[in-house]
Amino acid sequence: MNLFDDILTVSELTKEIKQTLETNFDKISVQGEISNFKAHVSGHWYFSLKDKNATISCTMWKGFNNYVFFTPEDGMKVILNGKLSVYPPRGSYQIDVRSMKPAGVGELQAAFERLKKKLSNEGLFEEENKKPIPVFPKKIGIVTAINGAAFQDMISVAERRYPLVELIIAPSKVQGNGAAESIVSSIKKLNLQNKVDVIIVGRGGGSIEDLWAFNEEIVAREIFNSKTPIISGVGHEIDFTIADFVSDLRAPTPTAAMELATPNQNEIASYLVDFVDSTGRKLKDKIVSLHIKMGRVINSYGFKLPENFVRQNYQKVDNLVYKLFANIEKDFIHYKNILSLLTKSLESFDLQKTLKRGFVLVKQDSIFITRAKYINKKKATTLKFYDKEIKLD
């Protein structure tokens, strides 16, 4: 018998192997540790699954990895369900992954601790990076599933405590595949509305798998980068997520988150009543105290002394006023007499009155002649009488 009677081509051999493997390993479950994980831009995942003795390549197409509730990372132990497939061009085999889950709660907890340490080292949990929560918010944004009980509880709390507030709802998936991306998108939308004063990100209780979206790195970084302060209210009081550590304020439940975000209207009303009563009493006491002090000052000897001094000097003031007016009247009469004398003096120099008494003015060349020696007999002379002038040649 010739050993080389049945000679196969490489393609034929690969086809035989492919058929054998894919037929006999069409439904397998494999546990191992992820390494070399890569999320391609196409949405497909490529990675290796290994244990201490062997490694196998794995591919998980976009249509299937959409149902994975967590983000795989190197070092995480997982359980894969799928089938073996052969890639003929390279003659290699790989696991065509249909579903993936962590190999127990311990793996998720380990991933939680790794991310927590990483973000803590980057300073995302530092108190100095926390934004203050407004005391009297006008608008509160809510990121949660609108069909959940937590959403209805938050609305009830807001209506009971602070009905003036306006709630802006950004619906989001809070569990399962795509939940982390949905939460990030809702936070972004609320940040675009500049009038939102605070954002609550939360959901009701559940297992670590149910709450895992709030442990994703993309959610943590979006909360940290939010311009609007964020209160996290995820799960129950015993539940802690990465979102709790990075948020500006952590509430043990969604209901508690709304209580922290809103003032209590009853407490405000009570405070106002107490304030008005207290202020009224203080004001009344102040008025009474000042009244007593003013009474003491008015009735004191020091305050009466100026009054007595004024009263004692009333007559002195009257005398001074009388003297002042008397002096004014005396000066008035004196200056009136002087004025009369001056008037009479001026009247004595009145030229017309002098001429009327019979005097004559002699004028030559428009100049009055006051002495006989100044007369020039050769010049024309004008004689000015009271009633008219006469020219002599």
Residue 242 inside a domain? The answer is yes
Mean pLDDT of 270-290: 79
365 shares a domain with 323: no
320 shares a domain with 304: no
DSSP 69: S
323 shares a domain with 240: no
- Exposure string of 128-156, with b = 16+ CB inside 10 Å and e = fewer, is eeeeeeeeebebbbbbbbeebebbebbee
Nearest alpha-carbon partner for 137 in 249, 276, 271, 221: 249
Q: What whole-number distance in Å separates Cα of residue 249 and Cα of residue 198? A: 11
Find the largest Cα–Cα distance for the chain: 196
Quote the number of domains for the chain.
5
Residue 298 inside a domain? The answer is yes
245 shares a domain with 117: yes
In this predicted structure, what is the pLDDT of residue 4? 57
Contacts by 251-257 with C-beta closer than 8 Å and gap 24+? Answer: 251/202, 253/150, 253/202, 253/204, 253/205, 254/144, 254/150, 254/151, 254/153, 254/154, 254/200, 254/202, 254/203, 254/204, 255/150, 255/153, 255/154, 255/157, 257/154, 257/200, 257/202, 257/231, 257/232, 257/233
Q: Which of 308, 339, 363 is the last residue of a domain?
A: 308
147 shares a domain with 259: yes
Residue 170 inside a domain? The answer is yes
Residue 312's pLDDT band, with cuts at 50, 70 and 90, is: low
326 shares a domain with 258: no
Residue 224 inside a domain? The answer is yes
331 shares a domain with 285: no
pLDDT digits (tens, 9 = 90+) for 175-218: 888 899 999 999 999 999 878 999 999 999 888 888 999 999 99
Q: Is 304 helix (H, G, I), strand (E, B) or coil?
A: helix
Q: For residue 165, which phi and psi values (nearest 5 degrees)?
A: -75, 150
Q: Is 237 helix (H, G, I), strand (E, B) or coil?
A: coil
363 shares a domain with 384: yes
Q: Which residue has the higher pLDDT, 234 or 194?
A: 234
Residue 175 inside a domain? The answer is yes
Residue 43 inside a domain? The answer is yes
In this predicted structure, what is the pLDDT of residue 332? 84
223 shares a domain with 179: yes
Residues 6 or more apart whose Cβ sits within 8 Å of residue 88:
11, 14, 15, 18
Residue 357's pLDDT band, with cuts at 50, 70 and 90, is: confident
Residue 95 inside a domain? The answer is yes
Whether this model's pTM surpasses 0.85: no
pLDDT digits (tens, 9 = 90+) for 101-122: 888 778 888 888 888 999 999 9
161 shares a domain with 60: no
Q: Is the pLDDT of residue 238 over 80?
A: yes
Domain containing 338 equals 313-347
Residue 3 inside a domain? The answer is no
Q: What whole-number distance in Å separates Cα of residue 361 and Cα of residue 368? A: 7
116 shares a domain with 213: yes
176 shares a domain with 75: no
